[in-house]
Structure 1
Amino acid sequence: MQERRLHRRVEPRDDATGAVSGGGAADAAAASASQVRDSVLEAVDDVKGSTDNVASALSKLAGRPPTSLGNRGLTGVNGVFIRYLDFGSKQLPWLHSALGRTTELVAVAEEVGDGGMELGILRMTGPRLQGAMFGAMLLAAWLDFLTLADVVLRECPAYSVEKLVRDMHRVQGLIEPTLAALASGDPEQVEAAALAMPELMGQLSGEFSSIRDGARTSMENFGKTLAVMQFVDMLTMVSALKMSLPRLPPAAPATVGVSLVMTSGGVMAGSQVVVSAEWVEMIRRLVQAGVISIPAVSAAVRIHGGQVMMAQTNGELPKGLRDALGDSPEVRGMKVTDRAGAGMSEAPKHHVLPDEHRAWFEKRGFTGEMSIDQFCVRLEQAHHQAIHGGGNWRLGRTWPKEWNQMIMSILRDAETAAGRMLTRDAILKLIAREMKRYNIPVNFTPGRRR
């Protein structure tokens, strides 16, 4: 795997604010941030590997010529299936963009020089990383349907092309809204889509089985009884919803408690979840740092666990995986929950970098992915009013310790002392210090321009 780790610079900094003193807790925060940073990059590498594999498979399908007899295959039959190949390919840019932006934010976090603020910026990667993780899963499932359609077209001429077009159109209709939500980058849309993924994957599994069984029946009716078993074996090998989902890393495997269940027809409908010690540690760090949501991890494990777990309404993690992640409040609470439990309360959003001074911050590098709208925090109404001097904002502005007045005074004084414009990193270090003083959590969520 290509090396993608970023390394902290060790030379002295000459920011206007000087070094943040402390040792002890500050050193612990820096060490924790370094571990979380590594875990984010590890997760990026895993998703990038899955995405690259899907991209390669899509390219091969698109380049596969139709059969010489009957002009069948995804690239044949007058091109009616090309749109489904294009639909898959069109998902790749946003997946690559989400991973690229995640990596860029990691680089920004590394340069801040304050452990608490670094963790805050790393949490900002969460919606992009989470969206990419689930988007890669869903795109892998779509690849399975494309592969299935190609096999049916080539090997099963008795299956109606018109019916297969309807089948693919129906499946795309199931997948498309969720992919759009995951691609949005909006925390609430991404979270809702992730929580709905196990049920969706269960539906897709049923659709896959329906097309496969319909193709088998059409072959039997067409008189190709001797070829049916070989055909079924072929479809089993290309079954994405069991074979091509992103695999959990194989190193140091540990099987956790998901039972194997047999259906009335004797078909294995569930599976064990096998994870590695490295994967467990990565997830533990991302969950405890607030980068990846607890309900989303539960949803991902349910998907990997197979049809039985996908169909479960109880979203708790298997006991074996809970034990492996460790006994912590985060893990004990790792289950599907409501909006408040998922961290999506309706508390007011507070611009940590005052919105009324947007132009000032833009001149100092807070644009695009690092605009001041990315540095909002949710505060209880009373807390929000308190830091702004009470319910009347006009009166509050006359209080020297009102958040906006205080922050701009500190930043301007620092610029005067430095004799130059503050860097973005220097500003964030000062902001981190004041957030601690005002008991404001360094847990950013995107806001909107007022």
Structure 2
Amino acid sequence: MSPGSDEGAVWQSALATHLAFLGALRDVSGTTRRASDELSRLRASRQGIVGKASGAFVPYVDYGERQLRWIDAELTATTRLTHAASEVDDPDMQLALLRLAGPRLEASMMGAFLLAVWFDFLNLADVVLEQYPSYNVESLFANMDHSQKMLEPAMQALSSLEPGPLEAAATDLPALVGHLTNEFVATRESVRMTAENIEKLRVLKESIEALTLLSAMRFSLPSLPRAAPATLGMGLVVGSNGVMMGTRVVVSAEWVEMMHRLVQAGVLSLPVVSAAVRIQAGQVMMAKAHDKLPPGVREALGDGPEVRGMHVTGRTGAGMAEPPEHHVLPREFREWFEKRGFTGEMSIDRFCVNLEQAKHEAIHGGGNWRLGRTWPNEWNRMIMDVLSKAETEAGRMLTPNEILRLVAKAMKRYNLPMNFIPRRGR
């Protein structure tokens, strides 16, 4: 197709969004790989957190491992959906699959922030238990227990993948990271105050100087390119050395553009991305209201009426019922679709769209579904006829991508939104 044509522009935009999604996925995967390496190091050490205090701290290491496990599982599912999107030859369906994977990436990204924070606490405890046996172990244990209880509700909300709790947890995450930062600093200072002599103070400083929340921020962003400074707004400066000082926020122009594109495409929600930026910014911005990001960042992320409107979800109106969910892949043929690969993250329950009541009834032939099935253009009857004829012509079962290509054409013909949501109550 001609690069300058409308169709070419649509494909170019879909490709750019896909590449941005892969970049974000790669960043979060890098975080979990480093966490996995750190977990292996902690498990192998018999002098610190695993080997001391009669194993009392081992459950905290186990807790980190459990969080790493669910994040890795979501990243694996996200990767499969991304691969499925890459094989679909309809750009709108490709974007729809990326939007379907978006909540998993959001949960993984936010979970990775908290996981990096938790490993800061584990590393601090490991250093203290190995090098400072005179420190009050009960106090350290109590601090770890308190920090885990602060972190647990957010982790549970993120791992649920439920849209409401997920977005609420992400919105509250900057404040939570701020509280955890204070807990970390207080524990570190307590250890410093109880160090026995100057030499131990020096060793302590070298051992735990790097154990700050900067690790959570560093893990979450790609490394900055050389000589690529950019100013995103007042007090927000991007430098090439990757060092954050004072109120300056170290984010690369590449990362901002990546998030901007994913927000504009409706793949990631603006509240989640805004929370990620706040966490990068540190304590100063954490204290600000949720909607008070500096103008430069708001503009870079695409904050505006069209973006905010793209993320309006929930009730059809104040006090009104939820809009009907339309299964694009008919539920009564669930077994048929499962035989053709629609299981797990590709379950037919993931391929629903919200429709107005009148629209939903119209595509099913009216309010009486039994009478509606006598109409040849009723959605369920039509789509199964199309798929059955395609299989007959192919002489084999259709692949998921072949099915989605035909479904995409039908959705455009019926003017259905290419914005899938999971079935409520799944």
Q: TM range, normalised to the smaller chain?
A: 0.7 to 0.9
Partner SS, residue 196 of structure 1: helix
Alignment-derived partner of residue 209 in structure 2: 237
Q: What letter corresponds to residue 359 of structure 2 in structure 1?
A: H
Residue 370 (structure 2) pairs with residue 370 (structure 1): no
Shift of 1:313: 2.1
Q: 1:153 to 1:421 in 2, by over 3 A?
A: closer
Residue 85 (structure 2) pairs with residue 109 (structure 1): yes
Query: Which deviates more, 375-384 or 35-44?
Result: 375-384
Q: What letter corresponds to residue 85 of structure 1 in structure 2?
A: V
Following the alignment from structure 2 to structure 1, what is the Cα–Cα distance between the partners of residues 123 and 169? 25
Equivalent pairs: percent with the same residue?
51
Alignment of 1:28-427 (within 5 A): 28-66=9-47, 73-219=49-195, 224=196, 226=198, 230=202, 233-234=205-206, 237-245=209-217, 246-249=219-222, 250-251=224-225, 252-257=228-233, 259=235, 271-325=247-301, 329=305, 333=308, 346-427=322-403
Q: 1:335 to 1:108 in 2, by over 3 A?
A: closer
Alignment-derived partner of residue 422 in structure 2: 446
Matched pairs, number? 409
Following the alignment from structure 1 to structure 2, what is the Cα–Cα distance between the partners of residues 335 and 407? 28
Q: 1:255 to 1:76 in 2, by over 3 A?
A: farther
Following the alignment from structure 1 to structure 2, what is the Cα–Cα distance between the partners of residues 405 and 204? 55
Following the alignment from structure 1 to structure 2, what is the Cα–Cα distance between the partners of residues 215 and 143? 18
Query: Which deviates more, 95-104 or 301-310?
Result: 95-104
Query: Which deviates more, 284-293 or 72-81?
Result: 72-81
TM-score, L = length of structure 1: 0.81
Partner SS, residue 256 of structure 1: strand
Q: Deviations over 1:110-137 (max 9, x none)?
A: 2121111111111111111111111111
Q: What letter corresponds to residue 24 of structure 2 in structure 1?
A: A
Alignment-derived partner of residue 3 in structure 1: none
Q: 1:163 to 1:119 in 2, by over 3 A?
A: same
| Cα contact 1:95–1:136 (8 A) shared by 2 | yes
Q: 1:278 to 1:396 in 2, by over 3 A?
A: same
Q: Deviations over 1:188-244 (max 9, x none)?
A: 44323212211211121121122223334444xxxx364686477447613332344
Following the alignment from structure 2 to structure 1, what is the Cα–Cα distance between the partners of residues 22 and 300? 22
Following the alignment from structure 1 to structure 2, what is the Cα–Cα distance between the partners of residues 394 and 258? 62
Following the alignment from structure 2 to structure 1, what is the Cα–Cα distance between the partners of residues 105 and 51? 33
CA RMSD of superposed structures (Å): 3.1
Q: What letter corresponds to residue 367 of structure 2 in structure 1?
A: G
Q: Deviations over 1:22-64 (max 9, x none)?
A: x944433322222121111111111111211122122222322
Q: Deviations over 1:250-301 (max 9, x none)?
A: 12242433649xxxxxxx9952112222212211221111111111001110
TM-score, L = length of structure 2: 0.86
| Cα contact 1:315–1:336 (8 A) shared by 2 | no
Shift of 1:423: 2.9
Partner SS, residue 250 of structure 2: strand
Q: What letter corresponds to residue 60 of structure 1 in structure 2?
A: R
| Cα contact 1:255–1:274 (8 A) shared by 2 | no
Shift of 1:304: 0.8
Q: What letter corresponds to residue 355 of structure 1 in structure 2?
A: R
Q: 1:25 to 1:438 in 2, by over 3 A?
A: farther
Following the alignment from structure 1 to structure 2, what is the Cα–Cα distance between the partners of residues 352 and 240? 48
Following the alignment from structure 1 to structure 2, what is the Cα–Cα distance between the partners of residues 379 and 91? 36
Q: 1:235 to 1:299 in 2, by over 3 A?
A: farther
| Cα contact 1:294–1:334 (8 A) shared by 2 | no
| Cα contact 2:112–2:220 (8 A) shared by 1 | no
Partner SS, residue 398 of structure 2: coil
Structure 1 unaligned regions, length at least 5: 1-19, 67-71, 261-267
| Cα contact 2:266–2:311 (8 A) shared by 1 | no
Structure 2 unaligned regions, length at least 5: 237-243
Partner SS, residue 377 of structure 1: strand
